[in-house]
């Protein structure tokens, strides 16, 4: 299946391009010497390789967060096993670490849409995502801990961050 993508060029390295795609095969080098590299191979087998949102660190092109989804026909496009988690890589997809502190431990059968996860540019990057069950989650420590900051909203299809202008 061909991935739909929304490519962007990283400001600090114009040879590094990110592509928000249907799968986790979303990190690729745009230079002529390199080819598309899949980041799914290093994901834990029980997580799979279906993920809607991916957020790249605003200053470190080797760091990214993804919210994987169950791709089976039993509970399609929900958190694997009903246990939501964000996964982070800090080495361009070689290794992934589960980040779920503060997220529901079970029975969370919701989805995070492709444009419903974002990051700010603070020194300790803040991450934010909205769910199809109308919850808005935030982390102020690069995903190490999560807190639900709003509930009982309609389905959340997109999340953006507005930061004050520098003086």
Fold for domain 7-150? Methylamine Dehydrogenase; Chain H (2.130.10)
Q: Which of 137, 89, 146, 93 is nearest to 112 (CA)?
A: 137
Written as tens digits, the pLDDT of the chain (167 aa) is 333 334 444 445 544 444 433 344 444 433 333 444 566 677 777 776 676 799 999 999 999 999 988 877 666 678 888 899 999 999 988 899 999 999 999 999 998 999 999 999 999 999 999 999 999 999 999 999 999 999 999 999 999 999 888 77
Q: What are phi and psi of 82, to 5 degrees?
A: 70, 15
Q: What is the pLDDT of residues 72-109, one digit of tens each?
A: 766 667 888 889 999 999 998 889 999 999 999 999 99
């Amino acid at each position: 299946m061909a991935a739909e993508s929304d490519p962007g060029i990283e400001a600090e390295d114009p040879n590094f391009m990110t592509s928000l795609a249907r799968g986790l095969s979303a990190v690729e080098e745009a230079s002529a010497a390199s080819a598309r590299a899949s980041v799914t191979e290093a994901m834990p087998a029980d997580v799979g390789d279906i993920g809607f949102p991916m957020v790249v660190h605003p200053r470190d092109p080797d760091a990214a967060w993804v919210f994987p989804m169950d791709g089976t026909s039993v509970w399609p496009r929900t958190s694997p096993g009903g246990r939501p988690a964000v996964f982070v890589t800090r080495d361009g997809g070689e290794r992934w670490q589960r980040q779920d502190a503060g997220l529901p431990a079970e029975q969370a059968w919701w989805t995070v849409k492709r444009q419903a996860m974002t990051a700010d540019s603070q020194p300790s990057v803040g991450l934010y995502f909205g769910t199809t069950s109308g919850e808005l989650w935030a982390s102020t420590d690069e995903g190490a801990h999560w807190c639900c900051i709003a509930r009982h909203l309609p389905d959340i299809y997109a999340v953006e961050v507005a930061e004050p202008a520098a003086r």
